[in-house]
Amino acid sequence: MADTPSILVIEENSLRAAEIRDGLSLGGWSSVTILENLECLSQELSKTDPDIILIDLATPNRDALENLSNASGAAHRPVAMFVDQTDAELTRLAMQAGLSAYVVDGLEQSRILPVLETAIERFRFTSQLRSERDAAKRALEERKTIDRAKGLLMRAKGVSEEEAYQRIRKTAMNPGRKVIDVAQALVTAADMLA
């Protein structure tokens, strides 16, 4: 994320939008685009590709939360939402939608920067967790594939588990391939022959 991030502010009220822009400018965040018409969100995102999105809604509903989350790309950038009113269900939905910050009781100029900074850090933290989870899932799937390939070799060639692994490893070394690639090819071939 840039040192001075670009921010897209979604606010239908032009006076409140000006207050938000002023609050951000006071903190040195001057790259601000205001969007007053939600129907233009997709176009604006493709045009500006902001680092952060700040949404100010008086009273959100389930559909608005889902649509804004999907359209804003909450999984790819921090999204902070300020709302005047909410309930437990909407709060839960906001968190499930991937919002980095969901602030109830309206937007105050003095709270904008701390909330956005918190949203950025929360986004970084959850992105790191997501990456680690995905890496662990890949590693587990690869381990399963390698184990299956070893089992196929053990049965077909009557070798030990260690010998089966060494054969896969040696095959991978010759053309500079990965062990998982050789194991996957063996499993795929076995599936085709079954």
Q: Where are the domains of the chain?
A: 7-107, 134-193
**DSSP string for 94-133:** HHHTT-SEEEES---HHHHHHHHHHHHHHHHHHHHHHHHH
Best CA proximity match to 70, nearest among 89, 91, 53: 53
Q: Please give the Cα distance from 157 to 184 (Å, whole number).
A: 18
The DSSP bridge partners found for residue 53 are 8, 79
**Residue 17 near residue 36, CB atoms below 8 Å:** yes
Architecture category of domain 134-193 in CATH: Orthogonal Bundle (1.10)
**Residue 186 near residue 153, CB atoms below 8 Å:** yes
Collapse the DSSP code of 52 into the 3-class scheme (helix H, G, I; strand E, B; otherwise coil) and give the result: strand
> Which CATH number applies to 7-107?
3.40.50.2300
Q: Please give the Cα distance from 68 to 86 (Å, whole number).
A: 16
pLDDT tens string, the chain, 194 residues long: the values are 557 789 999 888 888 888 888 888 888 888 999 988 777 777 888 888 889 988 887 777 677 677 676 666 667 888 888 888 778 888 888 777 778 888 887 677 778 888 888 889 999 998 899 999 999 999 999 999 999 999 999 999 999 999 999 999 999 997 789 999 999 999 999 988 87
The pLDDT value recorded for residue 184 is 95
The pLDDT value recorded for residue 48 is 86
AA identity, residue 65: L
What Cα–Cα distance (Å) separates residue 4 from each residue in 29, 52, 140? 6, 11, 39
Strand stretches in the chain, DSSP E: 7-10, 32-35, 52-57, 79-83, 101-104
52-57, strands of its sheet edge to edge? 32-35, 7-10, 52-57, 79-83, 101-104
**Residue 11 near residue 36, CB atoms below 8 Å:** yes
